[in-house]
Amino acid sequence: MADRVQQAIHRKMESFDANPCYFLKNVKEFGTNSASACLAGMGLRLGEAESWFLMKKIEAIIKPFKLDEVKEALQEVGLQGITVTEAKGFGRQKGHTELYRGAEYVVDFLPKVKVEVVLADENADAVIEAIRNAAQTGRIGDGKIFVSNVEEVIRIRTGETGVDAI
């Protein structure tokens, strides 16, 4: 069965830039219900295929006053859409103290902004660099960037899937 799976995947991959993960959502077509079995048919383990995902999700936690700069930087690299969420948190800076009407208060959670984008894998490095350059002040609390693989995207209105739905 492994040979049959491997041959079917290789036939299908010829027109899709040799990306087996493109087919993992439809592994039943290859006679198995398991993505790991599908990859095993190619002599791979699931962990080895992570770099073959077609899409990435980038989440950046930044200082609120840097949002406009980050948005402009993302537009300059051709990004078409972002999601922005107000957030509160702390990292190494552990908050700060403030005076209010003569009393001192410890502010543990600092205001932050979470910027989320989903994009084609090939654009990830440019977007990460744009966010990093635009959000950086050189001071503690500049934020973090998280990058993860995205298996599927579905546009609700049209039903488009994958990179076409981004």
Please write the tens of the pLDDT for every residue from 145-159. 999 999 899 999 999
Average pLDDT over residues 103-123: 89
Average pLDDT over residues 108-132: 95
Residue 8 has pLDDT above 80, yes or no: no
| CB-CB contact of 70 with 133 (8 Å) | no
Averaged pLDDT, 73-91? 93
In this predicted structure, what is the pLDDT of residue 53? Answer: 62
- Two structure tokens written together for 70: 């980050």
Q: At what angle do helices 124-135 and 67-76 cross, to 10 degrees?
A: 150
pTM: 0.66
pLDDT tens figures, 20-29: 555 555 544 5
**Are the beta carbons of 38 and 44 closer than 8 angstroms?**
no
